[in-house]
Amino acid sequence: MTILVIEDEPRVAGLIKKGLEEYTYQVDLAFDGETGKTMALSKNYDLIITDIILPKINGIELCRQIRKAKPQIPIILLTALGTTDDKVEGFDAGADDYLVKPFDFRELHARIRTLLKRIKPDHVIHKTILHFADLTMDLQTKSVTRTGKEISLTPKEFKLLEFMMQNPERVLSRAEIAEKVWETHFDTGTNFIDVYINYLRKKIDKDFETKLIHTKSGMGFIFKVEK
């Protein structure tokens, strides 16, 4: 998912970008309304976050212009102006959501998740059988086999393995796993993700020469074939 952030304060823009990238979003920045408009109309973003008070084109007018050209793209307005009239003006301009500064990043991320769920295309065909190496997962019967041997998993282990099989050969951070599998913000003071990874390793890898679940020190985990 690629997000455009339009914010004229570089420090704020940088913090938003850093926070979103921790959840593996790709983020582009624009520091004024005119540049933001050009970028929004020239590239297919999944979501746009824009401040209201911007140089050249303010966020309300920017929202109107983007909405005319791209009616389906979700837009979140950020502003220090939090009165009811301000919010109504933003929604009337075509914004999908409105967040008042200062805000908790977790709240922004929750709003983003909600909006992105709405735009999943109806025509996407979801696979019901996942294969990786000699491992097979049936999403309908909730069964897992490796070299034909059935492996019994708990519901959470199954969901974790499903996420890893859908994202092979890519480093998955603990924050991303917490978000996608547990639908929660990762608490660095706990090790519950590592615990479940170890549960899964014992069932998926222990009795097999070729290992599939690997740790990337300081980064997370990767699902790949390696002896």
- pLDDT tier, 79 (very low <50, low <70, confident <90, very high otherwise): confident
Distance in angstroms (rounded) separating the CA atoms of residues 75 and 70: 10
With a cut of 70, say whether residue 190 has pLDDT above it.
Answer: no
Collect all residues with Cβ–Cβ distance below 8 Å to 107 and sequence separation of at least 6: 99
From residue 74, alpha-carbon distances to 12, 27, 67 in Å are 21, 15, 9
Pick the CATH number of 129-226 from 3.50.50.60, 3.30.1490.20, 1.10.10.10, 1.25.40.10: 1.10.10.10
Distance in angstroms (rounded) separating the CA atoms of residues 178 and 157: 13
Tell whether domain 2-118 is in CATH 3.40.50.2300.
yes
Peptide bond before 10: cis, by omega within 30 degrees of 0? no
Where exactly does CATH 1.10.10.10 map onto the chain?
A: 129-226
**Tokens standing for residue 223:** 């699902």
Number of Cβ within a 10 Å radius of residue 147: 11
Portion of the chain with pLDDT greater than 90, in percent:
44
pLDDT, one tens digit per residue, over 98-143 is 888 888 888 889 889 888 877 655 444 456 888 888 999 998 888 9
Distance in angstroms (rounded) separating the CA atoms of residues 213 and 168: 10
What 8-state DSSP symbol labels residue 125?
A: P
Where exactly does CATH 3.40.50.2300 map onto the chain?
A: 2-118
Cα-Cα-Cα-Cα torsion 169, 172, 176, 182, nearest 10 degrees, comes to 90
State the pLDDT at residue 186.
Answer: 56
State the pLDDT at residue 185.
Answer: 65
Candidate from 78-82, 138-142, 151-155 with smallest mean pLDDT: 78-82
Q: Which of 68, 12, 72 is nearest to 48 (CA)?
A: 72
From residue 106, alpha-carbon distances to 5, 57, 183 in Å are 16, 28, 12
Q: What is the mean predicted confidence (pLDDT) over 27-39?
A: 94
Q: Which of 96, 85, 19, 119 is nearest to 50 (CA)?
A: 96
pLDDT, one tens digit per residue, over 9-23 is 999 999 999 999 888
State the pLDDT at residue 127.
Answer: 62
